[in-house]
Amino acid sequence: MLHLGRCTGGLAVVLGLSHWGGISLVTAQSRRDADPTPAKTLVVNGVPRTYRIAVPPRRAGGRSPLLIALHGGGGTGAGMERLTRLSDLANQAGVIVVYPDGWNRHWHDRRNPRFVPEPGVQDVPFINQLIDEVHRTYTLDQQRIYVTGISNGGFFAQVLACELSHRLAAVAVVSSNLPQGLAENCPATQSVPILYILGTNDPLIPYAGGEIRGKQGRKGVVYSAQASLDFWRQRYRLPATPQVQALPDRVNDQTSAQQITYQNRAVAVSLITIQGGGHTWPGGPQYLPQRFIGRVSQDFDASATIWQFVRRYRRNPSSPGANQSWGLRNSSVNSASGVPGTGV
């Protein structure tokens, strides 16, 4: 049975949630800084779409994995780069990182069936064509294309797991349970490993599931954290008994984390639950006061943990879209050391 709770709307009113229930992930300090990387433009269906890209100085074998990082509602690709510091990963691990911009700072994440994007604005084709564009320019390892995102971007990452399962090797989402509407209509044809990182005290997205509410009313319904994981576990026919690991409580910040993982030799679905954690990027900044978004856990680095999860997987070229375990030296599904590996 899916457990669906209820989320009150008080904080949403104070924060002035956007149409999609997201908030800008750009801190006051970030707004004073110059953009880390210049914006590029790609025209999709006649609509100019923008993105930023971090390319490693050295790329082994001439082919690089790609990580697409999706900002939250009201945010930007530049803000996502600052929040996550994933561009450091490009330099250390030899992965290309792309930060696309949602249209009007939002992604069509299909939580709210009443919302219809502007004519010509198509987010899934944008990401699909963006992958092609990056490949033409830099020559990707097309078996190692990954997506991550937070909040509205995390919801949209799950849309891509459904719509582009034939292209993606793994997905990781932060502060974004599974939307009920997407679960009811997910056309994925292949299994895509997925990692959730969710806080129990998220004031915007209810960990226990239920309605997301903003100042404009209902913003969709999400499954609980466990039900989100169970959806994929059952879909992928994974064993019902998970691996469970408590992550090291490295910092006295009133948070702690536990990871549960269901997996076989080909695919995994995993959930890191942050007790006391909020609508935040672990290891990142407290981009808004705790009374608005909750606590940021500093017990692990979400960026490093996400990379250590997704990098284990690649699509099997002999069976398009199928996943097989992609073992890297000293890698582990449960690794949350905060230090990304340098080898790919």
User: How do residues 28-67 score in pLDDT, each as one tens digit?
Assistant: 334 434 456 789 999 999 999 999 999 988 765 678 999 9
How does residue 323 score in pLDDT terms, banded at 50, 70 and 90? very low
Is pLDDT larger for residue 8 or for residue 253? Answer: 253
**Residue 25 pLDDT greater than 60, yes or no:** no
The whole-angstrom separation of Cα 80 and Cα 150 is: 9
Token output for 71: 């900002």
Average pLDDT, the chain: 83
Q: Which of 56, 7, 59, 53 is nearest to 224 (CA)?
A: 7
If you average pLDDT over residues 196-210, what whole number do you get?
Answer: 97
Handedness of CA 154, 158, 163, 167 (dihedral sign): positive
Residue of 13 and 124 predicted with greater confidence:
124
Tell whether the model's pLDDT for residue 200 goes beyond 80. yes
Give alpha helix (H) positions in the chain. Answer: 10-15, 28-32, 77-84, 86-93, 123-138, 152-163, 180-184, 225-235, 290-293, 302-310
Torsion of CA 205, 206, 212, 213, to 10 degrees: -90
Q: What is the pLDDT of residue 62?
A: 75
**Among the ranges given (3-7, 104-108, 120-124), the one the predictor scored with the smallest mean pLDDT:** 3-7
> What percent of the chain is modeled with pLDDT above 70?
78
CATH architecture of the domain formed by 5-325:
3-Layer(aba) Sandwich (3.40)
Evaluated on CA atoms 74, 35, 89, 283, the torsion sign reads: negative
Give the list of residues 6+ apart from residue 35 with CB closer than 8 angstroms, or none: 52, 78
- Greater confidence (171 vs 110) lies with 171
Sketch the domain layout of the chain as residue ranges: 5-325
Are 287 and 155 a contacting pair, CB within 8 Å?
A: no
Q: Is the pLDDT of residue 186 over 70?
A: yes
If DSSP codes are grouped into helix, strand and coil, which group holds residue 120? coil
Half-sphere exposure of 166 (CA within 13 A, CB side): 5
pLDDT of residue 42: 97
pLDDT digit string (tens) for 239-295? 999 999 999 999 999 999 999 999 999 999 999 999 999 999 999 999 999 999 999
Mean pLDDT, rounded, for 215-222: 74
The 10s digit of each residue's pLDDT in 124-167 is: 999 999 999 999 999 899 999 999 999 999 999 999 999 999 99
